[in-house]
Chains A and B, each alone.
Chain A
Amino acid sequence: GESVGLHLPTLSVQEGDNSIINCAYSNSASDYFIWYKQESGKGPQFIIDIRSNMDKRQGQRVTVLLNKTVKHLSLQIAATQPGDSAVYFCAELGFQGAQKLVFGQGTRLTINP
């Protein structure tokens, strides 16, 4: 759903470990979800998407899991690298008067050497 507040949730992981970033979405009728990566001073970059008729989708080093029962989305990054440091946003295609992409609050991922 819509984000609130100035303080992003943070996740710190060791380089080489796997990262799991979680997201709760708001609209049970949403049928399309996307994960974006945003580096400092840059625009969001598409990572992976998933439709509501799937519960898992894999990309290169990334996996998205969708649990529609509890309206939960997760992004798993395998073998985390320093270049993965960024803020990660989940977004749902919701309907608020018209079909639009609604971004969650975001999670800041920090990689420790």
Chain B
Amino acid sequence: EAGVAQSPRYKIIEKRQSVAFWCNPISGHATLYWYQQILGQGPKLLIQFQNNGVVDDSQLPKDRFSAERLKGVDSTLKIQPAKLEDSAVYLCASSLDDRVGQPQHFGDGTRLSIL
């Protein structure tokens, strides 16, 4: 079974620029998550999709972050404009559904550095 695919692996931009990350979840997984992991900390959920609908985006800074999963499969996360504090690894995860006990499978993330 292929895992969660993310690209790019690394991205370096200057503050106030825009950036986008892409995620392709495991085939058949209805639930998709985006997490932000700052160095030395655990991942923090930004947004959760169930198919193409948003379940929870309460921790997404909506003035600069946006995400979509238009066809209920792959997803993009965008930051516009980027700030220095956005430097982090952005992880995508997917699960079969959102029931308790369904493990989340993570991709290897995109490491974003803001200059």
Contacts and interface: CB of A to CB of B under 8 A. Distances in A.
Interface of A: 2-8, 31-32, 34, 41-46, 49, 51, 89, 91, 93, 96-106
> How many B residues touch the partner, as a band?
20 to 34
A44 B91 contact: yes
B4 to A, nearest CB: 7
Contacts of B48: 98, 100
Nearest to B4: A43
Interface in B17-74: 39-45, 48, 55-56, 58
A110 to B, nearest CB: 16
Main secondary structure of the interface of A (DSSP, over half): loop
A43 B107 contact: yes
B101 A98 contact: no
A49 B58 contact: no
Given A43-B108, A44-B106, A5 B40 contact: yes
B101 A32 contact: yes
A98 B55 contact: yes
A4 B41 CA distance: 7
A45 B104 contact: no
Interface string B73-114: 000000000000000000101000010110111111100000
Contacts of A91: 42
Contacts of B43: 44, 89, 103
